[in-house]
Amino acid sequence: MTPPSGDAVPLHLVEEVEAGDGWTFRFTIDIDEDHSRTIEIRMAWVDYNLWCPSGSARPSDVSHAVMRLFLASLPPESVPARLDAARIRRLVSDADTQVPTLIQAHPR
């Protein structure tokens, strides 16, 4: 199965901040010409290591793949303004397979 990409919604990384246990990324999404919103996503080291065990992808690429999966799975206006990357596992049953596939399919 090819994972959904969530490419229909323009997604822009605005900020990346590294902390002791992971990162926080701030994205803007363009819902339509007159409406955009900001989403902050936290990604722990443990999630990065699960989705990219080789360490070959940038953390921002991994977070981008996670955001694409959120946007492919939920209407953009219903994605919470603040969330944890691990939450994707509760929304998408095979997220741990789809995220690495999205990283490979959409290298940044």
For residue 58, the Cα-to-chain-centroid distance in whole angstroms is: 12
The angle formed by the CA atoms of residues 94, 80 and 54, to the nearest 5 degrees, is 40
**How much is the pTM?**
0.88
Instruction: Please report, for the chain, the start and end positions of each structural domain, with discontinuous segments joined by +.
Output: 11-105
Q: Are 40 and 74 in contact (CB under 8 A)?
A: no
Instruction: Give kind and range of the element (H or E) at residue 29.
Output: strand 22-32
pLDDT digits (tens, 9 = 90+) for 2-57: 444 456 678 899 999 999 999 999 999 987 777 889 999 999 999 999 999 999 99
CA distance 31 to 34: 8
pLDDT value of residue 9:
74
